[in-house]
Chain A
Amino acid sequence: MSKINSYRRNFLSGLAGTAAAVTVAPGIFLREVQAKPADEPISDKVRWGMLIDVNKLTDGGDACIAACKKEHGWGDEEHSNDLQDAQWIRKVKVTEKMTGKTVSLPVMCQHCETAPCVDVCPTGASMKRADGIVQVNKHICIGCRYCMMACPYKARSFVHETLVDQRPGTPRGKGTVESCNMCVNRVDEGKNPACVDAAPQAMLFGDLNDENSQISKVLKQYGGTQIRADLGLNTGVRYWGI
């Protein structure tokens, strides 16, 4: 118990510094890697990852979800019903059956290293970038939805109708599949993903391959839980407090 508490304290103080830095200069402190110039290929030296401390997300992730929605413009499809609307990130309430302990956490694409959605995709539309970000190239996606069948986290949505009024940084299209792309548009400009900026007290974004990055340091010290770790997908999104 005391050990856990000391972990907590450490993380608290670690993040307190971060949060302060973020408020002073958003998007700078958390990022050790500079923006990628547009003509430069994506580096495979980097693996982007994310750490979410569920205990610090007092709203269970509502703010992150709102920020994601605003950034990418999903979820208000006009003709689709609730089950057909896209949801890139959702708040899942988990109650452990035996203890009754309840937590709420945001779940989105976990950016698996060995991504089932990439393996099954016939066209290569579902792809993992060299920097570990998994996304769909909507220009070659044929809309077969095999990736949706294969994703263990139900992270993907299908666009069930013609879209209007799209966000410039997020091309979407009727009849294609989409999911959290870790805000590639922002990351390539050297910014944080929108959700991370919406909950800086609880989320860390950074390079998992760089042992000096803050995310690597805290993960090295305290670890980070994967959802369904038994599947061995080595996810890029890790959690504390689940």
Chain B
Amino acid sequence: MATNTVFSEIKNSGLGFWAVLGFFGLMTLVGAGAFYYMHHHGHHVTGMNNQIVWGMPHVFAIFLIVAASGAANVATVGTVFGKKIYQPLGRLSAFLAAALLVGGLIVLLLDLGSIGHVIEMAYGYINFKSIFAWNIILYSGFIAILAVYLWTMMDRSKVAKKFYKPTGTINMFWRFMLTMGTGSIFGFLVARQYYDAAILAPLFIVASYVYGTAIYTLVLMATFKMTGRELGDAVLNRLRYTLAIFIALVLFLELVRHLTNIYATEHHGVESFILNGGPFSNLFWYGQIVFGSLVPMFLVWCTFLRNNRTALVVAAILAIMGGFAQIYVILIGGQSYPLVLFPNSETSSTFSDGVYNAYSATLPEYLLGIGGVGLALCVLIIGMKIFRLLPTTLADASVDPHHSS
């Protein structure tokens, strides 16, 4: 039963542990190098320009931040909805969320043109009309709440227990606001046609469950394997079906979003650009829809593959890649479509008026993003080494005595 779950840190840190940590540490260092290079030379060494102003680093950053919110969902289900089987999973869930958030925020921060001015900003004026400013508060608040939440899960005292449920509830609502806040970054771009849809905010919320669950599943399976702990099908099946259900929901919202857009005449242009033959169409249809959504759903729901762990791993990896494609298409595709200054007219200029903007990320941009992933995983591994985040076992009998497969 959940209340009797025993947790432990990673104990036997042999060569394998250091190799894994070293690998992600190296990724982080490479990312740091990429930052230094971009910062030293200026953004002319990137593929970004005055038309595509947010590029690959932002795809990584937004993906990680949205995934962070979703990764905390596993804990929420245990706390707020009282699902006992999820409770042993809560600590890792909250910590993973914090780690992913740190990784994403660092990438966002290190892509800024004048990072030095951020320090001054701390003392200066913050524009509370800006959703960006609100997001800074939402993100830092999230980390603080996660810290308290972890304490309520890990401290055996009565006080901590009392706060367990309220903190979990606050955490859930905070996550809603945070993911919506991230989605709303696009909502304020009145003139950009692809972002002109209220549905982006709920879409981000649902997508966050997909990314977060997929990452959580992979992390759980990998650490349990490497630390020789037992992981039963009961837990994995919960994660597996959560993943598939939320993929289905994302597909549904995507359908609604594109249908509504197609219905509005002024959005025909941008819709056919994204969906039908433009440079993003393959990424959308094959990357996001077929391989990122339909195939993982098949892998989860196909009866032959029941309890098949390889299928689950593949499904989770595909869902992550599909999510990445989704953010890429939204972010880069939306910027690629030209702003309409003069409706019903053709325009041209030396500043890319009236043309589709091409973008290809340069190596430092990828490396900066990958560095953020590396950092998130380093934080996670170090956390698992120091804190008792992992249950000693998640064997079926221990998580659910009534489980029968």
Query: Inside 8 A of B124's CB, which chain A residues have their CB?
Result: 123-124, 140
Complex CA gap A93/B347 in Å reads 5
Contact between B43 and A160 (Cβ–Cβ < 8 Å)? yes
B interface footprint on A67-101 (CB within 8 Å = 1, 0 otherwise): 00000000001011111111100111111111000
Binds B, one of A29-37, A45-53, A149-157, A214-222: A149-157
**Cα–Cα distance between A80 and B120 once the two chains are bound (Å):** 28
Contacts of B192 in A (CB 8 A): 149
Give the residues from 217 to 242 in chain A that come closer than 8 angstroms, CB to CB, to chain B. 227-228, 231, 242
Bound together, the chains give a CA A160 to CA B127 distance in angstroms of: 25
Residues of B contacting A176 with CB < 8 Å? 113-114
Closest to B51 in A: A83
A227 — which chain B residues lie within 8 A by C-beta? 341-342
Is the pair B49, A160 in contact by a Cβ cutoff of 8 Å? yes
B269-277, B298-306, B349-357: which lies at the interface: B349-357
**Of A84, A154, A159, the contact of B113 (CB 8 Å cutoff):** A159
* Nearest Cβ on chain A to B45's Cβ, whole angstroms: 8
Task: Identify which of B129-137, B226-234, B313-321 touches chain A.
Answer: B129-137
Q: CB-CB contacts of A154-167 with B at 8 A, as 1s and 0s?
A: 10111111100000
Query: Complex formed: what's the CA distance from A101 to B345 in Å?
Result: 9
Q: Which residue of A lies closest to B108 (CB)?
A: A144
Given contacts A83-B352, A152-B190, A154-B351, contact A162 B42 (CB under 8 A): yes
> Across the interface, which residues of B come within 8 angstroms of A87, CB to CB?
50, 350-351
A-chain residues with CB within 8 Å of residue B341 when the two chains form the complex = 92, 94, 107, 152-154, 227-228
Q: Given that A94-B346, A143-B113, A227-B342 are known contacts, is A154 also in contact with B189, CB under 8 Å in the complex?
A: no
Pick the contact of B353 from A82, A92, A174, A228 — CB < 8 Å?
A92
Is B41's beta carbon under 8 Å from chain A? yes
| CB <8 Å contact, B127 and A92 | no
Tell whether, in the assembled complex, residue B345 and residue A142 are in contact, meaning their CB atoms are under 8 Å apart. no
Question: How far does the Cβ of B111 sit from chain A's closest Cβ, in whole Å?
Answer: 8
Residues of A within 8 A of B158 (CB): none
| B42–A175 touching, CB < 8 Å | yes
Q: Is A139 an interface residue (CB 8 A)?
A: yes
Tell me if A's interface is mostly helix, strand, loop or mixed: loop
CB within 8 Å of A: which B108-128 residues: 112-115, 117-118, 120-121, 124-127
Give bound CA distance, A90 to B44, whole Å: 21
Interface presence of B20 (CB below 8 A): no
C-alpha spacing A219/B54, complex, angstroms: 38
Select B115's contact among A123, A142, A162, A173, beta carbons within 8 Å: A142
Instruction: Name the contact of B125 in the complex, choosing from A82, A123, A142, A159 (C-beta under 8 A).
Output: A123
B370 to chain A, nearest CB (A): 21
Chain B residues whose CB sits within 8 angstroms of the CB of A157 once the complex forms: 50
What residues on B are CB-neighbors of A162 within 8 Å? Answer: 42
Instruction: List residues of chain B with CB within 8 A of the CB of A152.
Output: 190-191, 339, 341
Candidate in B113, B120, B185, B339 with the most chain A CB atoms within 10 angstroms = B113
Contact yes or no, B121 A140, CB < 8 A: yes
Most buried by B among A79, A142, A150, A173: A142
Give residues 322-345 of B contacting A (CB, 8 Å).
335, 339-342, 344-345
A174 (CB) vs chain B CBs: closest residue: B42
Chain B residues near A26: list those with CB within 8 A: none
From A122, A141, A242, residue with most partner B Cβ within 10 Å? A122
Q: Which of B129, B133, B188, B341 has the most CB of A within 10 A?
A: B341
Within the complex, the shortest CB–CB distance from A104 to chain B, in Å, comes to 9
Residues of A within 8 A of B115 (CB): 142-143, 175
- State in angstroms the CA–CA spacing of A139 and B124 once bound together: 12
Q: Are A149 and B189 in contact (CB under 8 A)?
A: yes
Query: Do the beta carbons of B114 and A175 come within 8 Å of each other?
Result: yes
Contact check: which of B44, B121, B131 meets A120 at CB < 8 Å? Answer: B131
Give every chain A residue within 8 A of B339 (Cβ-Cβ). 152-154
Chain A residues with CB under 8 Å of B51's CB are 83, 154
Question: Looking across the interface, which residue of chain A has its beta carbon closest to that of B125?
Answer: A124
Asked whether any CB of chain B lies closer than 8 Å to the CB of A145, the reply is yes
- Across-interface contacts of A177 in B (CB, < 8 A): 113
Decide if A183 is an interface residue (CB 8 Å cutoff): no
Q: Does A148 contact B (CB under 8 A)?
A: yes
Contact B44 A122 (CB under 8 A): no
Question: At the interface, yes or no: B53 with Cβ under 8 Å from chain A?
Answer: yes
Does A146 sit within 8 A of B, measured CB to CB? yes
Q: Does residue A121 face the partner (Cβ distance < 8 Å to B)?
A: yes
Q: Which residues of B contact A145 (CB under 8 A)?
A: 53-54, 113
B404 at the interface (CB under 8 A from A): no
Can you report 12 A-B residue pairs in the complex whose CB atoms are below 8 A from each other?
A79-B42, A84-B48, A87-B350, A90-B349, A97-B345, A107-B341, A116-B189, A121-B130, A122-B133, A150-B188, A175-B114, A228-B191
List the 6 shortest-distance A-B pairs measured between CB atoms, nearest first.
Answer: A143-B113, A175-B113, A152-B191, A83-B49, A161-B42, A160-B44
Query: Measuring CB to CB, which residues of chain A are less than 8 angstroms from any residue of chain B?
Result: 77, 79-87, 90-98, 107, 116, 119-125, 139-146, 148-154, 156-162, 173-177, 227-228, 231, 242
